[in-house]
Amino acid sequence: GVEWLQVALMTLALLATMVVSLVAGVFVGAVREHEIRAMLRAALFMLVLCAPFGWMAIGLRLVAEMDLNQRRELAFGKIPRWWHHLLMTLLWLPLVGMMMTEMIHTERMAPVAFTTSPAYLIFLAGQGDIVPFFIQLIALFWLTFVLVELAGIRLVADLTARKDEEAKLDSYVRPNVVEASQGMTTLPPATLQKLATRRARRGPGGVGTRSPIGWLLQPPAWMPRLAWAAVIASTASILVFAFDYTGGGFGGSAGVLMPLLAPLLLFAVVMWPAVYFFVAWQAGRLFAESRRSGSIELLLVTPHFREVAIREQWRSLRSIFLKPGLVFIGLTLVGALLGEFSHQLELSPGNRMFMSRSGGLLDWLLDSIYLVLTFLALAWFSMWRAWTGPRPALAPLEAFLFAVVIPFVLLRLMDGLFLGLSMFGVAGGLGGVISNLLGIAWSAVLIQIARSRLNRSFS
């Protein structure tokens, strides 16, 4: 097994890895002008730095070689989004891996369960005979290093691109707009419209002060791709596990596709927290950006602002996450039906009880309700904290903490309790049902509190 002290040391080493790799990425991106060369050098750093202590030593040396401006950019400069995203996505994985390994270390899961709960993917990943915890940890460290270092490289590239864009737009857009009004420009109308739109989004204060309505109506193009990536990776990992567990389905041998399971599970486990976080981020985007840009007074005097704002935010969430969510629930429904059908065929006619086994339709139904309520809780809680919280930029993190992290830890501890009771023949089969019901109750209470306090703040 894995001791709590080992998990604490691993978490500290992971934090050191994130700090040092971000420093290395910023340094690499700053000393190389061409992005391809910077990424090649980042790969060289990844190969050379093979231990956390080596990463720490070289990172301190890089910090010593940086000038004052680079250190200020690293400490205070426009990186909280990168840092919070990666921290919330990666930091809790060693703890989860340890908990799942300790809970399910003895044997593989007997029935093949199809469930909509992302925790089930961590359930599979935590089984010691499929993906050992230390292999997960090594893969997590390498993934963390690559992601954070590339984030640092991208940070430098973004800062440089922003400065170039500012200079280009200031010297290029205004003269051409004046010439277009006088009929003296040779630029096509589509180019002028595009440049004028970009100038309008920037606002009078430069980059970062775009209209909050523009932020709301134009979500990033990568956000739907992130949701689809989580759905595809989750479904593929469950299908690979089911295929190998049943021996290939058509007389094949188990274990053929098992090498694909570890990367698929690791990718899915990383993607789902990211999807949760960006649901909360998109939900509170309008309120957070309006408070940050100082346009809150203008929005307050808008007629029916509360109804319009909440309706538009839900519309943006539906346009991004509704289709991937429905596809994922539908695919897991098919898996639950097939699993229940095969289970019923194996039982004698006198012992067939519909919705009676773990991984059947009852678990699927409760997991689906819990998944939907988790998304609703994330959205409502993020909107409430973005509107009333002292720091609206931290509203997605607060929503992620209360709607995902806290219930996940509590319910996994309860699953461990029921697993221990099942060894003595006490309430073993009801553990998953009771945990899901408690999770549903937690999300429902969170939704009610957030909605009531948000409505009260508008009145």
Per-residue pLDDT of 191-238, as tens digits, reads 555 555 555 444 443 333 344 454 455 677 778 888 888 888 777 777
Alpha carbon distance 262, 264 (integer Å):
6
Does residue 271 have a pLDDT over 70? yes
Whole-number pLDDT of residue 434? 78
Higher pLDDT among residues 137 and 395, named by residue = 395
Query: Do the beta carbons of residue 248 and residue 349 sit within 8 Å?
Result: no
Tokens of 240: 């690979």
Query: Do the beta carbons of residue 127 and residue 109 sit within 8 Å?
Result: yes
| Nearest Cα to Cα of residue 223 among 275, 155, 175 | 275
Alpha carbon distance 443, 370 (integer Å):
8
Binning pLDDT at 50, 70 and 90, where does residue 405 land? confident
- Which range of 27-36, 244-253, 304-313, 399-408 scores highest in mean pLDDT? It is 399-408
Tokens of 71: 């250190």
- When the pLDDT of each residue in the chain is averaged and rounded to a whole number, the result is 63
First to last CA, the chain: 54
Alpha carbon distance 381, 453 (integer Å):
10
Tokens of 254: 């188990």
Query: Do the beta carbons of residue 199 and residue 273 sit within 8 Å?
Result: no
Query: Do the beta carbons of residue 217 and residue 311 sit within 8 Å?
Result: no
**pTM score over 0.75:** no
Which letter does DSSP use for residue 404 in this model?
I
Whole-number pLDDT of residue 50? 43
Q: Is residue 207 helix, strand or coil?
A: coil
Whole-number pLDDT of residue 448? 92
| Nearest Cα to Cα of residue 234 among 365, 325, 342 | 325
Alpha carbon distance 84, 179 (integer Å):
45
Binning pLDDT at 50, 70 and 90, where does residue 125 land? low
Q: Residue range 95-117: average pLDDT?
A: 44
Whole-number pLDDT of residue 167? 59
Alpha carbon distance 270, 406 (integer Å):
18
Whole-number pLDDT of residue 212? 46
Whole-number pLDDT of residue 94? 47
Please list the alpha-helical segments (H only) found in 182-221: 189-202, 212-217
Alpha carbon distance 53, 46 (integer Å):
14
* pLDDT tens sequence across 45-74: 444 444 444 444 444 555 555 566 655 555
* pLDDT tens sequence across 354-388: 334 444 567 777 888 888 899 999 999 998 998 88
